[in-house]
Amino acid sequence: MYTFSTISAYQQDLCNQVVTCEAMVRQYLQKIAATAGLNAFIELYEAEALARARALDAQAPGEPKKRLHGVIISIKDTICHKDHPVTCGSKILTGFTSLYNATAIQRLLDEDAIVIGRCNCDEFGMGSSTENSFYGPTRNAADTNRVPGGSSGGSAVSVQAGLCMAAIGGDTGGSIRQPADFCGVVGLKPSYGRVSRYGLIAYACSFEQIGVFTNTIPDAALLLEVMSGPDDYDSTALQETPPAFTGYATTTTKPYRFACFKDAIRNPALDPEIQQAILDTADRLRADGHVVEMIDFPLMAYIVPAYYVLITAEASSNLSRYDGVRFGYRTPAAVKDLTDFYKQTRSEGFSKEVQRRIMLGTFVLSAGYYEAYYARAQQVRRMLVDQVATVFGGFDAILMPVSPTTAFPLGEKTSDPIAMYLADIYTVFANLTGIPGIALPLFRHSNGMPFGLQLMTKAADELTLLRLGDLLMQQYRQ
Ligand code: GLN
């Protein structure tokens, strides 16, 4: 079996004819077939991936190669890929085919990436375990009785189990960083607006970002560099030209300043081993000349409630388009009238969790409750944005856990949605405030599962995020 350290090492091997794109695609297809029980993929594009690989292999040896020449990726089932089905893990999008490429996907394809398949996820990205998919749960490759996290669980497992080189996911409240943590891979959520959302099927528009799962920081930097930048199709995309993310490395050995929120570390729900690993890392950073300060951040308790009020409000509006009339699933039942048709279609097409969120979102937006819930949650969001800006006035990065626990057994939280929501405490913060976050796979728990820590930097500062991520991965990985 051919193995490689980074995408650029693989590309060097392609140049030196140590390996071919076609051999690589075949190797992955074999491994995917051998691990089909993980249920990481909803659909594979075998013939198309092989044809694309052969076309790339046929390029003349001296011909300049594109930046993602032969890079084999998977895509979460919420991102549009022209002429391929996309269903958001939901019955309601049965039979729907993407009419265009998401800007991020177009940019990856333009650089000669090869898409091997479409990955499983929680329905519409709603969940933290990938158990809430019409296609059944995905399993963690490190222990198949445990969840891979979610909602981009299939994407995380596709990298964890060595089924592709990198995966493209979406993160509305942690859906890249938390499954990356549960599976022991790198998961990067860029700043809000860094990557165009055009073609990412909307769940909560003001929160979500497309990001990546990779094995290494250089790979994450490369993919981010290709996908990011302004886009005429997304008015919320950052307008400035992004820096060259692959140039994140620096030779200066400047001491960095890290902030840790006391309430995040002292959270009684935090697994003691995870807590200890973060405290030990803080000590080691200090011993190496950096500054790590434990600071007060009094709004911690409001983070999860504000997130779930706002995202359900946005979801109730975004998901109103699935009515069974124009596309996707429609009820075969005999119906009385149009209202009955909508009710039947939506009751049959959406899972319980999606219905719960649509109803909750409709409630918090309704006359009489809007001020009490939606408007107040928006105020909390504003305060969080202001407070985090103050924090970054004195620090380069925030150091946090990714999740209070390691990957939990399948079925453990499915009957308790509140427990599932509360576990999002450390990840939703970055989405509420629009800052970038990265999950770094640094540790292993005594229960055998991987876990890591999360770094966040100020908005639009992915360069520092990658630089510090690289530092931790190189020097603090156990
Ligand atoms: N677990 C969170 C939720 O259910 C995050 C999901 C996501 O980022 N798509 O909303």
Domain boundaries, the chain: 7-247
**pLDDT at site 252:** 73
The count of other CB atoms within 10 Å of the CB of residue 382 is: 11
Q: For residues 304 and 417, give the distance between their C-alpha atoms in angstroms, rounded to a whole number.
A: 13
Tokens (6 digits) for 123: 């329905």
**pLDDT at site 250:** 79
Write out pLDDT tens, residues 170-207.
999 999 999 999 999 999 999 999 999 999 999 999 99
Ligand 1 atom having least distance to the Cα of 427? 5
HSE-up (13 A, CA, CB side) for residue 144: 7
Look up residue 363 and give its amino acid. Answer: F
Q: Is 155 in the pocket of ligand 1 (CB under 6 A)?
A: no
Angle between helices 217-227 and 103-110 (to 10 degrees): 110
C-beta of residue 37 within 8 angstroms of C-beta of residue 78:
no
Q: Is 151 in the pocket of ligand 1 (CB under 6 A)?
A: yes
**pLDDT at site 62:** 83
Q: Ligand 1 center to residue 414 CA distance, Å?
A: 14
Q: Judge residue 36's burial from the number of C-beta atoms within 10 Å of its C-beta, 0-12 exposed, 13-18 middle, 19 or more buried.
A: exposed
Q: Is 209 in the pocket of ligand 1 (CB under 6 A)?
A: no
Q: Ligand 1 center to residue 326 CA distance, Å?
A: 27
- Which of 126, 152, 192, 408 has most ligand 1 atoms within 8 Å of its beta carbon, as the pocket-test mutant? 126
Q: Is 361 in the pocket of ligand 1 (CB under 6 A)?
A: no
What's the distance, Cα to Cα, between the start and end of the chain in Å?
A: 26
Tokens (6 digits) for 97: 């085919």
Q: Is 128 in the pocket of ligand 1 (CB under 6 A)?
A: yes
**pLDDT at site 176:** 98
Q: Ligand 1 center to residue 379 CA distance, Å?
A: 21
Instruction: Please tell me which residue in 151, 152, 196, 228 is annotated as part of the active site.
Output: 151
pTM confidence score: 0.98
**pLDDT at site 251:** 73
Q: CA angle, 305 as apex, 351 and 134 as ends, to 5°?
A: 15
Write out pLDDT tens, residues 237-293.
999 999 999 999 977 778 999 999 999 999 999 999 999 999 999 999 999 999 999
Question: Which residues are within 8 A (CB) of 416 and not within 5 positions of it... i.e. 6 or more apart?
Answer: none
**pLDDT at site 195:** 98
Question: Which residues are within 8 A (CB) of 284 and not within 5 positions of it... i.e. 6 or more apart?
Answer: 476
Question: Would you call 158 a catalytic residue per the annotation?
Answer: no
Question: Would you call 8 a catalytic residue per the annotation?
Answer: no
The count of other CB atoms within 10 Å of the CB of residue 226 is: 22
Q: For residues 128 and 143, give the distance between their C-alpha atoms in angstroms, rounded to a whole number.
A: 17
Q: Is 351 in the pocket of ligand 1 (CB under 6 A)?
A: no
Residue at token pair 């405030």: 433
Ligand 1 atom having least distance to the Cα of 176? 8
C-beta of residue 149 within 8 angstroms of C-beta of residue 30:
no
Q: Ligand 1 center to residue 15 CA distance, Å?
A: 40
Residue at token pair 């057994």: 409
SS3 366: coil
Ligand 1 atom having least distance to the Cα of 126? 4
Q: Judge residue 271's burial from the number of C-beta atoms within 10 Å of its C-beta, 0-12 exposed, 13-18 middle, 19 or more buried.
A: middle
Q: Is 457 in the pocket of ligand 1 (CB under 6 A)?
A: no
Instruction: Name the DSSP letter for residue 140.
Output: B
Q: For residues 361 and 166, give the distance between their C-alpha atoms in angstroms, rounded to a whole number.
A: 34
**pLDDT at site 253:** 74
Spans of the chain below 50 pLDDT = none
Question: Would you call 175 a catalytic residue per the annotation?
Answer: yes
Instruction: Please tell me which residue in 74, 76, 158, 228 is annotated as part of the active site.
Output: 76
**pLDDT at site 254:** 85
**Is domain 7-247 annotated with CATH 3.90.1300.10?**
yes
Q: Judge residue 40's burial from the number of C-beta atoms within 10 Å of its C-beta, 0-12 exposed, 13-18 middle, 19 or more buried.
A: buried
SS3 254: coil
| Count of residues making up the chain | 478
